[in-house]
Amino acid sequence: MARKKKEEIKEQLPPAPATPQPITETIEKNYMPYAMSVIISRAIPEIDGFKPAHRKLLFTMYKMGLLKGNRTKSANVVGATMQYNPHGDMSIYETMVRLTKDNEALLHPLVDSKGSFGKQYSSDMAFAASRYTEVKLAEICQELFSGIDKDAVDMIDNYDSTKKEPRLLPTTFPNVLVCPNEGIAVGMASKICSFNLSEVCDGAIQLLRNPSTTVDQLLDIIKAPDFPGGASIIYNREKMREIYETGHGGFKMRAKWQYDKKNNCIEILEIPYCTTIEQIIKAVADIVNDKNGKLKEISDMRDEIGLHGFKLAIDLKKGSDPELVMNKLYKLTPLESQFSCNFNVLIDSSPMVLGVKQILEEWIKFRVGCVRRELTFDLNKKQEKLHLLMGLGKILLDIDKAIRIVRETKLEKDVVPNLMEGFGVDKVQAEYIAEIKLRHLNREYIMNRIKEIEDLQKEIAELEALIASEKATKNYIAGQLREIKKKYHQDRRTDLIYDDEIEEFELKEEVEDINYRIVLTREGYFKKITMASLKGSDVQKVKDGDEIVYNADANSQNELIFFTDKANAYKAKVADFDNCKASEFGKFIPVELGFDEGEKVFSMVVVTEYDPNHNMIFIFENGKGVRVPLNSYQTKNNRRKLVGAFSDASPIIAAIKETEPVDVMLISNINKAIIVNSELISLKTTRNAQGITLYTLRKNQRIVEAITDQASRYANLKKYKKTKIPATGTALEELDVEAQQISLI
C-alpha cells in the first residue's frame, strides 16, 4: 500500500530538467520581474511626485467630478479606484488618508476631507472606516490635472485594458519636491522630504531663466526642507549642499517648546516629522523610570492634543531648570531626530538618485513636453476651426446659391458633394456648411463667424511661435509658476537653527556624592571600598607576590587615569566600578578597561578637576624627566583610551601628580640618589615630550625608583638635594644611624 502511494506521488511530480538550470538564470526569470514591478509600479515615485497608487486614486476622483462640487463618501472613491488599482480596498483607503488635510502629512493636502483621518504624528490615532468619512479633491489639484484632457500626457490601459489612465500627471509645479514621499522597493528605497512651494517655484523659475544656476545659488532660494509639522532644522550649509548635489545625506530636526511658568511645565508644540508622540512619550517614560535617574526633574507627562492644536505637557519638579531638561530630552529622546534623505526618482522608468537641482532640471524637461503637447492640441483645434470658417466665408458670396443647392438636391447623400462642387470647398467644410441651422442662414450670423478668422489667425501664429521657441515655452511655464506661487503661497513652517548657534551639550550622568578608599596593586588589581565597609575590616587582601602601589581616598565624582607601560592612558570614573571589600582581590584593570595584549598598568592618579596649574611628572629610566599639564588629558567626549600619553623613548619609572611644588627622589641601580624639586623639571605642553636629563648616568646605570615620600625611608636628605640639573648621585645610607633611630621609636 505504502509502495503504491509512493509510486502515485512520483508520477505526480514534474520530470527533472534535462539540463540543470543555473541559479542566476532562475533568479533572472522568476525574481527579477517581481523586483522590477515593485520598483517601477509601486514603491518609487515618478517625476510628477506620485507613486502609481496615488496617481490612480487622484485620477479616479478627477473622473468622478470631485474637483468641483460636494464631497462624497470615501467608500465610493475606494470602490471606483479599484477599476484602476487591483489591490485591496484598505490599501487604497490608507493611500487616500495620507493625502487628506486632516491627516496633516502634507504641506498642501490634495484631498479636502471631512471626518476622522488620524494624524501623521501619531501611530495610535486610527482613521475612521471609509463609510463614515467624506472627501473631494482640494483646489490645488487643478494644477495636477491642468491639460490632462488636452493630450498633455500619454494615456495607457488600466490593468484589464477596459479603461485609460494617465501615464503621469501633468503637474504645473514641481510636486515631486513639495509632496514628501517614502517607499521601500527591492534592493533600493526612496525618501524625499517636502520643500516650501513658494521656494520651489522660485528655484524652478531661476533654472528656467538660467540653466547654469549653481547649487549654491539654489540653496539661497530653496533654503531647506519644510515640513507640515513645523519643528526646527539644525542647519549646516555644507551638509545641505551635499543633499542638494547628490540626493543623499541627512539633517537633524528638533522640537519647538515653550515654558509655562504658571504651571511649571514644558509645552512641546511641534515635533520632528520623522517621529511620533507615542515614541516620544515611551522614550521619556523609560528614562524617567530608569534607575540611573537621568531625568529626575520630570514628574509627569501628558498628551494635551486637542482642537487648539498639538501639545505635549511635561510637568517639572520644583526648582528644575527647563533649559537643562530640554537639552537632556534632545539628547535622550526623539524630540531631536535625524532625517535621512534618499532622493530616488523614476526617470523614464529608470530609478535615479538625483540632487535637488537635477530633479528640477528633469521636471522642467518633463513640463516643457507637457506644455508643448497641450499647446499643440489647442493649435490643432484652432486650425480646424479656422478651416471651417474659411469654408463658411465662401458661401457669404452667394447664400442663395447654397440654399438652392441644398433644396434642389434630390438625395441627402448628394448634398455634401454638391456643396463641394458648387463652392470649391473640401468635405469637412461642406459637412460644416450643411449642418448650419436654417435660422443661421443669414448674413449677420455668417459675418460674425467670419470676423473670428482674424482673431484665430493671430492666436494660431502666437501658438506656433510659442511651440517653436524653447525660450518662449520656458517663459510660459515660469508665468504659470508665478501664478501658482501667488495663489497657494504659505510661509515656512520649519525654522532653521544654525548649528554654530547651538552650544554642545554634554550629558553628564548624575552620580551620588560618596567617599571611597581606592587601592591599586602592582599586578593591576583595583578596589573601590566604601568607608562603611572599611570600618569592619581595613586589612587589604592581595595575591601572593603582589603589593599595593596606590592607596588613597576619592569621591564618586572623581576621574581616574591609569598609565600603562605602553605609553597609553586609560580614563575611567570612580562611579564606573562596582564596590569591593578589603577582603577581595578586586577588579583586574587590564580586563575592565580593555588593555591591549600584554599591556600592564604601572600607575594611577585621581583627578578632582583639570586645574591648569596641576601637572603630571614623568620620570624615565634614562634619567630624564618632564612635566605635562594635567589638562592635556582632559577630553570633551567620553574617550576611554589616550595613546601617546607620555614619551616611550625610555621605559617609564614613575608618574606623579603635582598639585604644588614637590621634592622627587630618583634612585639608581647602584644605590645612589638625587632629590630635585619639581620646579626644576621642564614643563612641556606636548604629552609625549622626552623632557630633560635630571640624573647623570654612566654606562649600564639606570633609574629604578622615583618617590616623593623619601622622608619616611631615608635620613639626612639634605645631602641628596640638588639645586642644578643634571646632577650626579650620592650614595644611599641605608644603615644611617638616624634612620635606624627613627625606625626604633
* SS3 of 463-474: HHHHHHCHHHHH
- What pLDDT digit, counting tens, does each position of 164-183 carry? 999 999 999 999 999 999 99
Strand-pair partners of 559: 573, 607
> Among 159-168, 402-411, 488-497, 644-653, whose mean pLDDT is lowest?
402-411
478 & 519 share domain: no
CATH number at residue 414: 1.10.268.10
Q: Give the DSSP H or E segment for 620.
A: strand 615-620
Domain boundary among 144, 170, 196: 170
Residue 339 lies in a domain: no
Q: Which amino acid is at 81?
A: T
Residue type, 727: A
Q: Does residue 154 form part of some domain?
A: yes
Query: What confidence tens digit (pLDDT) does each residue in 500-546 have?
Result: 888 776 666 655 678 888 999 989 999 988 888 887 677 888 888 88
Position with higher pLDDT, 583 vs 362: 362
The verdict on 442 and 531 lying in the same domain is: no
**For 720, which DSSP code?**
G
pTM: 0.71
Q: Are residues 527 and 625 in the same domain?
A: yes
Query: What is the mean pLDDT of the segment spanning 624-634?
Result: 91
C-alpha cell at 260: 509655562
The total number of structural domains that make up the chain: 4
How buried is 581 (Cβ within 10 angstroms: 0-12 exposed, 13-18 middle, 19+ buried)?
A: middle
* Residue 435 to residue 429: CA distance in whole angstroms: 10
Dmax (CA) for the chain in angstroms is 158
Query: Per the domain annotation, does 497 fall within a domain?
Result: no
In a domain, 362, yes or no: no
Which CATH number covers residue 287? Answer: 3.30.1360.40
Whether 498 sits among the annotated catalytic residues: the reply is no
C-beta of residue 158 within 8 angstroms of C-beta of residue 84: yes
Q: Are residues 325 and 379 in the same domain?
A: no
- Choice among 84, 132, 273, 714 that is catalytic: 132
pLDDT in tens, 89-118: 999 999 999 999 999 999 999 999 999 999
563 and 610 both lie in a single domain: yes
CB-count burial class (<10 Å; 0-12, 13-18, 19+) for 285 = middle
Residues 566 and 473 both lie in one domain: no
Tens digit of each residue's pLDDT (9 = 90 or more) over 542-586: 888 888 888 888 888 888 999 999 999 999 888 888 888 888 888
The answer on 706 and 638 residing in a single domain is yes
How many whole angstroms separate alpha carbon 192 and alpha carbon 365? 20
> Tens of pLDDT along 263-283?
999 999 999 998 999 999 999
Q: Residue 744: what pLDDT?
A: 37
Q: Is the pLDDT of residue 739 over 50?
A: no
Rounded CA separation 546/260 (Å):
61
Is position 684 within any domain? yes
- The three-class DSSP label of residue 604 is strand
DSSP assigned state of 631 = G
State the residue range of the domain holding 716: 515-744
Region 133-152: what's the mean pLDDT? Answer: 95
Residue 616 lies in a domain: yes
**If pLDDT is split at 50, 70 and 90, which confidence band does 638 have?**
low
The pLDDT mean for the chain works out to: 88
Pair 561, 708 in one domain: yes
Please check whether residues 521 and 646 belong to one and the same domain. yes
Q: What is the pLDDT of residues 372-389, one digit of tens each?
A: 999 999 999 999 989 888
Identify the CATH number of the domain in which residue 674 sits: 2.120.10.90
Report whether pLDDT(298) > 60.
yes
* Mean pLDDT calculated for residue range 154-173: 93
Please report, for the domain that includes residue 92, its CATH number.
Answer: 3.90.199.10
Residues 683, 552 within the same domain:
yes
Are 635 and 698 contained in the same domain? Answer: yes
pLDDT of residue 548: 86
Q: Looking at residue 345, what is its pLDDT?
A: 95
C-alpha cell at 614: 596641576
Peptide bond into 661 cis (omega under 30): no
Residue that is last in its domain, among 145, 170, 195? 170
Other CB atoms within a 10 A radius of the CB of residue 26 amount to 10
Report yes or no: 460 and 382 within 8 Å, Cβ to Cβ: yes
| Cα–Cα distance, 563 to 569 (Å, whole number) | 5
Q: Is the residue at 526 inside a domain?
A: yes
End residue of a domain, out of 170, 198, 216 = 170
pLDDT for residue 9: 55
Is the domain of 79 the same as that of 128? yes
CA distances from 495 to 223, 225, 408, 542 (A): 10, 10, 81, 62
Is the pLDDT at 308 greater than 70? The verdict is yes
At position 179, the amino acid (one-letter code) is C
Residue 504 counted as domain residue? no
Separation between Cα atoms, residue 86 and residue 345, nearest integer Å? 23
pLDDT tens digits for range 449-479: 778 888 899 999 999 999 999 999 999 999 9
H or E stretch including 112? strand 111-114
